[in-house]
Amino acid sequence: MSFIPILALAAAVFLFAAFALKLPRAGWTLFGAALLFGLTGYALQGSPGYAGAQKSGAPAISEDNFAMIDARREFFDPTTVPSRFVTVSDGFSRNGQFQDAANMLRNAVAENPGDTEAWVALGNAIIEHADGTLTPAALYAYSRADRISPGHPAASYFLGVGLLRSGRPGEARGVWADMLENAPEDAGWKPQLEDRLQRLDQLLTQIGPQGPVAVPAQ
């Protein structure tokens, strides 16, 4: 059924060329053959019944994008709604548009430099945009979050994740071990981090203190 509009358009183009543009009768056969050739090529190579293919440069949507956001939110009060900039940037991050997310978060920290979650989210977005590399800009974002809220675990936790993804598991272990040493006894995130640290120690015995490590968001 999807070919009917195409055939109708081809017929309309032929009639317009033949009568409105007064195409000579001698050229009707050639013009009709050209239209038929074009339709045949589309039928053989195209997919008129399907939506257009995703552009090769389009961002990839991954479950890890959602997991990173969920992991970050676990460190903040669920009853406190993030700023509008953070909320919009999370939408970009879920769709793999990390540069757009980072740009939105720069607006967030420009408007409110004391927004700890925005700084942490900015560090995460920068790392994701850099394909898992802990860049100086991401390190700066985490350090700002730590200065604003000393003792808050989010910045240190994701700094550790960034170090792991950058192939620096020994440094990541030091960051996380320091977090646990200074954590309140009733910290809700403590058991999860203890489990991750134990698994990291097992990895370190196998690969040594330095080496690439594949790290899930949580």
Render pLDDT for 50-99 as a digit per residue (tens, 0 to 9).
343 444 455 556 678 899 999 999 999 989 899 999 999 999 999 999 99
- CA nearest neighbour of 120 among 148, 88, 94: 148
Q: For the chain, what is the total number of helices (H) and then of strands (E)?
A: 10, 0
pLDDT of res. 51: 40
For residue 2, CA distances in Å to 48, 49, 61, 75 come to 6, 6, 30, 51
117 contacts: CB under 8 Å, gap ≥ 6: 72, 76, 82, 83, 86, 145, 154
Q: How far apart are CA 62 and CA 165, in angstroms?
A: 17
Give yes or no for a contact between 49 and 2, defined as CB atoms under 8 angstroms apart: yes
Euclidean distance between the first and the last CA atom of the chain, given in angstroms as a whole number = 48
pLDDT of res. 3: 52
> Is the model's pTM score more than 0.75?
no
pLDDT of res. 44: 44
Length of the chain (residues)? 218
Query: Would you state the structure tokens that stand for residue 168, as one six-digit string?
Result: 């620096």
Q: Which three-class secondary structure state does DSSP give residue 175?
A: helix
pLDDT in 10s for each residue of the chain, 218 residues = 455 555 565 566 556 555 655 556 655 565 565 555 555 554 444 444 434 344 445 555 667 889 999 999 999 998 989 999 999 999 999 999 999 999 999 999 999 999 999 999 999 999 999 999 999 999 999 999 999 999 899 999 999 999 999 999 999 999 999 999 998 888 888 998 999 999 888 888 876 555 544 454 45
Give yes or no for a contact between 82 and 70, defined as CB atoms under 8 angstroms apart: no
